[in-house]
Amino acid sequence: MQSKIKSLKKDVLSALASAKTEEEVRDLEIKYLGRKGPFSEIMRGLKDLSDDEKRTVGKLANMTKIELETAVHAKFAELEGAMMDQIADTEWMDITVPGKKPRVGHRHLISKFIDDLEIIFGRMGFQVAEGPDLETEHYNFNQLNIPADHPARDMQDTFWLKNLKDSVLRTQTSPVQIRYMEANEPPIRIVSMGKTFRKDSDATHSPMFHQCEGLMVGENISIANLKAVMTQALQQIFEDASIKTRFRTSYFPFVEPGLEIDCTCPICGGVGKLPDKTPCRLCKQCGWLEISGAGMVHPQVLENVGYDSKKLTGFAFGMGLDRMVMIKYRVNHLRLLFENDLRFIAQF
Ligand code: PHE
């Protein structure tokens, strides 16, 4: 019996030594050390032995079984270790390699400019109002004193919607004036920035462009207020306190009088020449830039929204933003603003 145990031990140890996978080891464990294995059998057979043999054989069998169990666990550990070594060899990564910096986007130059304008006008008490890009003829034209047969409709080459009656891509931000006055009581101080659309497309015109509308309505609002607000705003926009404004008469159906606002050229400082005496190309040497349409809100427009035109007055202005962005950031082609070429956009 004792020699049987010893030879069992030898068998198990040599089988373990040549086992290559955890599965093989598990099979060996079950086969030799399991409930139906030879050791269990030996233990069951102890009862037929003499007391003396019982003691020695039992002890030897027990000791051997424990030894073999230890060997099995050691083999498991060895195989697992080898597997981890292999993973470490094949699936390693060098955590000291510097990471790739993700490319983080930012707001487009025009969006940033619009944000700046909101802050500049906000400091003067103007709230931001919004209106839809897809407008009705009613708001884009009629309420602004431009009926269907009015020649002023030709001033703006309009995109009409084919399948949606009386609908246009707004040609101006002025309909926001109407929408806001209809929904709010005076006094009013708002600006509204956004996209506008006209069938215009060449080197200096894009069919989609941006405007900033301003509206201030209350008692005793005058052109002097318009002058103060526009001068302040332009000085802050171009970050140049020497900028001056001048008004010329003009015509828009929804204001009376209608005005064109010019400001001194931010490039040459209104001199017409650059410091090196070369002619200023931006203002074509005249020292002034046309910057905004404006005027005193037409009494009829106030009446259209249910305001009392005998008590209230107001000014409105509407300026194109794209050219201002080009001037401020020295962008020499309009198309750069809309092509979304990252080499350009990432510069700002
Ligand atoms: N809406 C006019 C345009 O687009 C500009 C403007 C706005 C003029 C407000 C006067 C007052 O041409």
Q: Are residues 172 and 254 in the same domain?
A: yes
* 139 and 254 assigned to the same domain: yes
Inside any domain, residue 127: yes
pTM for this structure? 0.74
Q: Is the CB of 255 under 6 A from ligand 1?
A: yes
Tokens found for residue 134? 């897809």
Q: What pLDDT is attached to residue 108?
A: 96
Q: Is the domain of 47 the same as that of 154? A: no
213 belongs to a structural domain: yes
Q: Give the residue, 261 or 152, on which the prediction is more confident.
A: 261
DSSP state of 340: -
Same-domain status, 232 and 86: no
Same domain, 192 and 310: yes
Residues 179 and 277 in one domain: yes
Domain carrying residue 123: 109-345
Whether residues 176 and 208 fall in one domain: yes
| 316 ligand 1 Cβ < 6 A | yes
Residue 61 lies in a domain: yes
Tell me if 99 is assigned to some domain: no
99-150 confidence digits (pLDDT tens)? 999 989 999 999 999 999 999 999 999 999 999 999 999 999 999 999 999 8
User: Does any domain span residue 45?
Assistant: yes
Assess whether pLDDT exceeds 90 at residue 2.
no
* Probe residue for ligand 1, chosen from 172, 210, 215, 297 as the CB with the greatest number of ligand atoms within 8 Å: 172
335 C-beta neighbours (distance < 10 Å), count: 12
Cα 66 to the center of its chain, rounded Å: 67
Is 344 exposed, middle or buried, given 0-12, 13-18 or 19+ CB atoms closer than 10 A? middle
- pLDDT (tens digit, 9 = 90+) per residue, 225-276? 999 999 999 999 999 999 999 999 999 999 999 999 999 999 999 999 999 9
289 bridge partner residues: 263
Nearest-CA residue for atom 9 of ligand 1: 317
Is ligand 1 within 6 A of the CB of residue 194? no
- Assess whether pLDDT exceeds 80 at residue 346: yes
Q: What is the CATH number of the domain that holds 307?
A: 3.30.930.10
* Residues 131 and 268 occupy one common structural domain: yes
Q: Based on the domain organization, do 86 and 157 belong to the same domain? A: no
How many domains would you assign to the chain?
2
pLDDT over 90 (residue 155): no
The predicted-structure confidence for 209-231, as pLDDT tens digits, reads as follows 999 999 999 999 999 999 999 99
Considering the domain boundaries, does residue 153 fall inside one?
Answer: yes
Mean pLDDT of the chain, nearest integer: 95
For residue 258, give the ligand 1 atom closest to its CA: 10
The pairing of beta strand 167-169 with beta strand 255-264: unpaired
Does the beta carbon of 293 sit less than 6 angstroms from any atom of ligand 1?
A: yes
In a domain? residue 238: yes
Q: Each residue of 51-109: pLDDT tens digit? A: 998 999 999 999 999 999 999 999 999 999 999 999 988 998 888 999 999 989 999 99
Same domain, 176 and 320: yes
What does the pLDDT read at residue 24? 94
Tell me the one-letter amino acid at 229: V
Same structural domain for residues 264 and 297? yes
Q: Is residue 96 part of a domain?
A: no
| 156, pLDDT greater than 80 | no
